[in-house]
Amino acid sequence: DAGVTQSPTHLIKTRGQQVTLRCSPKSGHDTVSWYQQALGQGPQFIFQYYEEEERQRGNFPDRFSGHQFPNYSSELNVNALLLGDSALYLCASSRAANRGNEQFFGPGTRLTVL
Amino acid sequence: AQSVAQPEDQVNVAEGNPLTVKCTYSVSGNPYLFWYVQYPNRGLQFLLKYITGDNLVKGSYGFEAEFNKSQTSFHLKKPSALVSDSALYFCAVRDSSGGSYIPTFGRGTSLIVHP
């Protein structure tokens, strides 16, 4: 079992550019959540996808958008990058059936905006 | 609304001594509580969770946590710390009722175990 995988590992962009981050969930998981983790902070929830729909969204602007594919993998897109978007972006997968299910996290994508 | 607090930014303990990392929470209904660990430049790894049942929960790597409903706490403990336990620890809470599927994470506590 490969667990949750994310790509790329690191990314450097300049202000105003757009970026796409990718995530493949753990085998058997159907729900994918994205988090932003700034240095020295806990993960901040961006949004969650289930059955290819955005099920819940955190307090992030519309510049942050996502998608879930039929195979449950997911993408996070960020448009018009700002310096403040520099962070570790974490993908987490889980099974939707029970809210008590823990999330399994990928290693993250380190985004640096210059 | 749900929230979680980790009152200590950093905990220092000598190897072989017991360790405690504190967490308190607030939810409208009954809580689902989680502990995760993060090593440098890595994602979060699940340690243990409380859903229902016994207040003392045992998890990975010898860690355990005690759910205390009256004090709304879920402190992480280990009887004998290892240098390799040094990492960032996050507590998370999710309300078992209501419409949210998302856990709220604390700011994290840096555990430093000295040789």
Q: What is the pLDDT of residues B51-88, one digit of tens each?
A: 988 899 999 999 999 999 999 999 999 999 999 999 99
Whether B102 and A56 lie within 8 Å, measured CB to CB? yes
Residues of B in contact with A56 (CB under 8 A): 100-102
**A66 and chain B: CB distance < 8 Å anywhere?**
no
Give every CB contact of residue A76 below 8 A, 6+ residues apart in sequence.
Answer: A20, A21, A22, A23, A34, A46, A64, A65, A66, A89, A91
Mutate which: A45, A99, A105, A111, vs B, most B CBs within 10 A? A99
Mean pLDDT value across residues A50-67: 94
How confident is the model at residue A1, as a pLDDT? Answer: 64
For chain B, what is the mean pLDDT?
93
In chain B, what's the furthest Cα-to-Cα distance?
46
Sorting pLDDT into bands at 50, 70 and 90, what band is A20?
A: very high
Distance between CA atoms of residues B1 and A83, nearest Å: 30
* DSSP label at residue A49: E
Tell me the percentage of chain A whose pLDDT exceeds 70.
96
Mean pLDDT value across residues A79-92: 96
How confident is the model at residue A4, as a pLDDT? Answer: 95
Using left for φ > 0, alpha for ψ between -120 and 50, and beta otherwise, residue A85 falls in alpha
Sorting pLDDT into bands at 50, 70 and 90, what band is A77?
A: very high
Distances (CA, A) of B18 to A14, B34, B74, B81, B107: 46, 20, 16, 6, 22
How confident is the model at residue B95, as a pLDDT? Answer: 87
Question: What is the Rg, in whole angstroms, of the alpha carbon atoms belonging to chain B?
Answer: 14
**B102 and chain A: CB distance < 8 Å anywhere?**
yes
